[in-house]
Amino acid sequence: MLVLCGCKQPAQLSITDRLKPCTGDDTPVDAVCGTLRVFENRATKQGRQIDLNIVVLPALRADAAPDPLFFLAGGPGQGAATMAKMVREMFRQVLTDRDIVLVDQRGTGQSNPLDCEDEDDSLATFNRSEAESLAMLKQCLAGYDADLRLYTTPIAMDDLDDVRAFLGYEKINLYGGSYGTRAGLVYLRQHGDRVRSAVLDGVAPTNMRLPLFFPRDVQRALDLLIDDCAATAACNAKYPNLTSRLPALMARLEKSPATVAVVHPRTGERGNITMSARTLANILASTLYIPIASSLIPALVERAEQNDFQGLLALASIGDNGGPSNMSVGMQLSVICAEDAPRFTQADVARESAGSLFGPYVMRLQQDACAFWPRGEVADSFYDPVTSSVPTLVMSGEIDPVTPPVWGEATATHLSASKHLVMPGTGHTAGGTGCGVRIIRAFLTKGSVEGLDTSCMANVKRPPFFVTPAGPDPAIGGNLSRQSPTGDTQKGGGG
């Protein structure tokens, strides 16, 4: 157990003097692990303390760069250290030259996690009402050993700087994906003198007001998918008129939810569920994050019109791979309810949801939970655009349903040494493509956006639509003109 400290360590100490080889099954065998204890209440420095969980992936080269890459996870609510194996594979090229540091942000992973996991893995969970879900959140809230007002992003980024100092790094590079971009921007504001360069991938700035614009942005992603299907001969021939068919399906389910026999996609349990418009909207929204999964949407909509919802049900759990969730819901609500919910009204929600199929349904639970969730305080200046001269690579996925390019473009205008790249045919976070990783490594090596080779972006396309039971149309390779010859398609990303 590492003890609470002023976080200024003797310069001669190495990482292995501070951390020890990892022993858990969820970490790479060559990683080193440890904890750093901080006060939950950083202002008073009294009371409860939190052990921040740290995993460092050591660089492969003996003469590695002295400035590591700190990986900031998404969500909000994902534990970064918990993702060590995935990050090691995703950023293997980066790991050649520099350490990668992952810290479970307070309230996530193994850093006093504010989890609210549902142990029920039966078909009944697909029919849980919002009232039942809110009751479960209240039960979790009553059981936390934490002051939930102290789990905001600014406090967590001061934690992160303690970790930087404790590990002995003078300068660091940042990679933030999704909510991690907000964390990265806040760190830039509070500790920018410690940052050599930053990558913001799928930008969620401090003034985003989650989830106010989510219905609008996810509708944009759905419209792009429908337009791309219509522009692709094989898809349009197989699934014509999706523009009218999908709203008609939603309207039918809103008026009369369908009770259907299904098989649980993970457990094999057989039974009946009621497919409502709310359930369908949430499945579609989550699927649009990942283009390779959303290529199934036209085919599954056609099946759903015939009351076959088995394929859509399988998509409902595509993100967890059958394993335990890496999302601390309590931390997510502590962030959203403090930093976002106070900044919009129900009139704003109605205005921004107008014309969207998703407005009445997506992220309603979070909005309703904020009515009773303890709310931390953030300064009014938190919502001002972050300004910085630190070299910053800003990346957006062209068809991202939650952090579309408009957010990246607005953020980049206040970062004087930045470049904004929009990755074609890519969903949530562009770093999930091989092209994106190559650009990130080149940027980190140069420490500048000047002269970056981004030519690989021309080969990144939306995955082809499924138009036969086996996949894309075999006669045309599933629309080869839209498929990357290098396989550079979106593989998913952080929340």
Strand residue runs (E) in 147-213:
172-177, 195-201
Residue 70's H or E segment, with its range, is strand 69-72
301-317 as b/e, with b when 16 or more CB fall inside 10 Å?
Answer: bbebeeeebebbbbbbb
What lies within 8 Å, CB to CB, of 314 at 6+ separation is 265
Instruction: Put residue 424 in one of left, alpha, beta given phi > 0 → left and psi -120 to 50 → alpha.
Output: beta
Where does residue 450 rank: exposed (0-12), middle (13-18), buried (19+ CB within 10 A)? exposed
Q: Which residues contact 29 (CB under 8 A, 6 or more apart)?
A: 22
In whole angstroms, what is the distance from residue 87 CA to residue 28 CA? 10
- Between 214-230 and 297-305, two packed helices, what is the crossing angle to 10 degrees? 90
* Cα separation, 346 vs 225, whole angstroms: 29
H helices within 355-402, ranges in order?
Answer: 364-369
Q: What is the DSSP letter of 468?
A: B
Domains of the chain with bracketed CATH: 15-118+144-210+380-459 (3.40.50.1820)
What is the distance between the alpha carbons of residues 149 and 161, in angstroms, rounded to a whole number? 20
Please tell me the chain's helix, strand, coil percentages from 3-state DSSP, rounded to the nearest 5: 40, 15, 45
**What is the pLDDT, as a whole number, of residue 326?**
87
- Provide the angle, in degrees to the nearest 10, between the axes of the packed helices 214-230 and 346-353: 10
Q: Is 33 in contact with 24 (CB distance < 8 Å)? A: yes
- The per-residue pLDDT for 5 is 40
Tell me the CB-side half-sphere exposure of residue 172, using CA atoms within 13 A.
Answer: 27
**206 residue type, one letter:** T
pLDDT of residue 469: 61
Task: Dig out the tokens for 193 from the structure.
Answer: 């003198």
- Assigned token pair, 384: 């001002």
Q: How far apart are CA 334 and CA 169, in angstroms?
A: 30
Distance CA 227, CA 297 (A): 13
Pairing of strands 418-423, 392-397: parallel
Per-residue pLDDT of the chain (495 residues; tens, 9 = 90+): 333 344 444 444 567 678 999 998 888 989 999 999 999 999 999 999 999 999 999 999 999 999 999 999 999 999 999 999 999 999 999 999 999 999 999 999 999 999 998 777 788 888 888 899 999 999 999 999 999 999 999 999 999 999 999 999 999 999 999 999 999 999 999 999 999 999 999 999 999 998 899 999 999 999 999 999 999 999 999 999 999 999 999 999 999 999 999 998 888 899 999 999 999 999 999 999 999 999 999 999 999 999 999 999 888 766 554 456 789 999 999 999 999 999 999 899 899 999 999 988 887 888 899 999 999 999 999 999 999 999 999 999 999 999 999 999 999 999 999 999 999 999 999 998 999 999 999 999 999 999 999 999 999 999 999 997 655 654 443 332 222 222 333 333 335
